[in-house]
Amino acid sequence: MFTYLNPAVREKLIKTRKLCRIDKSGKLVDFDAPSAPGDLVLNLLGPIPLPLRMQGKSYQAQWYATVRSTELNKVEELAENLRQSEGQNLFASLATPMAVNSVLIIGDPVHSDNPLVRVHSNCLTGDVFGSERCECGPQLAAAVDRIASDPAGGMIVYMAGHEGRGIGLWAKAATYLLQDTGEDTYQANESLGLPADSREFTDAAALILHFIGNRPMRLLTNNPKKIKDLTEAGLDKISIEKHVTGVSQWNKRYLSAKREWGHNIGDADLSQ
């Protein structure tokens, strides 16, 4: 992560416009401008050319990494203390699960009408391992393919820290064991004393406002909570495009639980 670099590199990134800050409305913020406690300020690093290959197809994207200033400041303060005390061997302690979100720009959604947008919660088991206990991996791949095939282009906002709907990978592993005893995915979270869904999409809204603005866009989702959160954050020109894919014998029970919690999933979807 760039937080570990010499401060001179940070200044170079700012001067070359590869590093900027935005507020919750998506507007640029000066690095020297003070922010009030509780204000949302995001650091945005990019664009970085990123050739992609998913399910045998190739795509071209521009990648941006993004992290909240509140989290970044803590890491940079620790890094500076380690530099001053010559504690270089302790820099590994900075490899914490800081929520570094990503943006993938595909095509030219900034200058097109009604682009496609996918806000995707990270899922190691589905996105990386290809697990069929959920539909996350196929949803991500299908979103990239749909956006790349659409003349309007679009963007993927990949949300770190959303594993297991916000409970983290360790707790998610425990919920899988509970699901194997008969609980559904939401009941398993609650059995651990955790929220059924603790995700929030404020950062995603700010990033969409920064890149596209509050103008007509098509959101690839089946999740009413995501729609509600983004709308309340200032994106009130969203139209919804259903995004059901990756249905298998292994995840139909999981998808049925989602439907009971309000997701737009029909009988015909589950019969795929």
Give DSSP secondary structure letters for 16-55. TTSEEEEETTS-EE-TTS---TT--EEEEEEEEEEEEEET
Q: What is the pLDDT of residues 144-167, one digit of tens each?
A: 999 999 999 999 999 998 888 988
Task: Kindly state the average pLDDT of the residues 74-86.
Answer: 57
Whole-angstrom CA distances from 127 to 54, 82, 130 are: 11, 35, 6
The amino acid present at 264, given as its one-letter code, is N
Q: What is the pLDDT of residues 31-60, one digit of tens each?
A: 878 777 778 889 888 898 878 888 888 888
Q: Which two tokens stand for residue 172?
A: 């998610």
Give dist(CA 50, CA 96) in Å, integer.
Answer: 24
Q: What is the pLDDT of residues 240-267, one digit of tens each?
A: 999 999 898 889 999 999 999 899 999 9
Give burial (CB, 10 Å; 0-12/13-18/19+) of 143: buried
Active site annotation includes 197: yes
Q: Which of 21, 68, 165, 199 is catalytic?
A: 199
Total residues belonging to the chain: 272
Q: Which two tokens stand for residue 263?
A: 């997701």
Give the CA diameter of the chain. 62
Q: What is the pLDDT of residues 89-105, one digit of tens each?
A: 444 444 444 578 999 99
Tell me the backbone φ, ψ of residue 229, rounded to 5 degrees.
Answer: -65, -45
Give dist(CA 157, CA 139) in Å, integer.
Answer: 13
Could you tell me if 226 and 262 are in contact, meaning their C-beta atoms sit under 8 angstroms apart?
no
Active site annotation includes 199: yes
Task: Kindly state the average pLDDT of the residues 204-214.
Answer: 96
Give dist(CA 236, CA 66) in Å, integer.
Answer: 23
Could you tell me if 143 and 268 are in contact, meaning their C-beta atoms sit under 8 angstroms apart?
no
Give burial (CB, 10 Å; 0-12/13-18/19+) of 118: buried
Q: CA angle at residue 154 from 151 to 158, to 5 degrees?
A: 150
Q: Which of 23, 127, 184, 197 is catalytic?
A: 197
Quickly list DSSP for 164-176: HHHT-HHHHHHHH
Rounded to the nearest integer, the mean pLDDT of the chain is: 85
